[in-house]
Amino acid sequence: MRKSHFFILSLLFDVSSRSKSCEQFCASLEISVTKLRSQKGMVRVLLAADAKNFQESNPKDVKAGQVYFRETSADQEKILFVFPKLDAGTYAFKVIHDENNNKTLDTNLLGIPTEGLAVSHRSRISPNMVNFEKAKFKLLPSKKKTFEAPMLYVDR
């Protein structure tokens, strides 16, 4: 009986010490999505900690601590995505304005997006713009980083 009490107390201590250390060392990220051309469909953001997961676009492939996925209706002029309590480290994000809500980024025959796209550190649509190495940034412990992510469209 005493062993089970000790085990429960050690679990409680472990959880509380993690939350305290997270308050001291975790980073947070805010991505403000702007310049949507319409209020149709969904806006989806994928935040990844490595190149392999940065290429994923299916929320079923989200892995805790490696890929974070959020989505919301495109019914506002400005959309704020908040990622609290992230481990410090290297990340990159991409945002898709899925206007027809088919859960994919539509492209033309040349592979150029026909729907809105924003990628960290990218200010124009270009070949190979969804590249982790070019889009990566660092989140520092106990710091908040904010990005403005204007949605880019080929016809703008």
Q: How far is CA 152 from the centre of its chain?
A: 17
Query: What is the mean pLDDT of the segment spanning 1-6?
Result: 43
Mean pLDDT of 102-128: 83
Q: How confident is the model at residue 130 (pLDDT cuts 50, 70, 90)?
A: confident
* Max intra-chain CA distance, the chain: 69
State the average pLDDT for the chain. 81
**CATH topology for the 27-150 domain:** Immunoglobulin-like (2.60.40)
Q: Is 121 helix (H, G, I), strand (E, B) or coil?
A: coil
The model's pLDDT over 51-60, given as tens digits with 9 standing for 90+, comes to: 888 876 655 6
Q: pLDDT band at residue 131, thresholds of 50, 70 and 90?
A: confident
Euclidean distance between CA atoms 81 and 9, whole angstroms: 36
How is residue 39 written in tokens? 């209020």
Span 135-142, average pLDDT: 94
Domain ranges of the chain: 27-150
Q: Which residue has the higher pLDDT, 40 or 107?
A: 40
Summarize pLDDT for 50-100 with one digit per residue, the tens: 888 887 665 565 556 678 889 999 999 999 999 999 999 999 999 999 999
Instruction: Tell me which of 99 and 25 has the higher pLDDT.
Output: 99
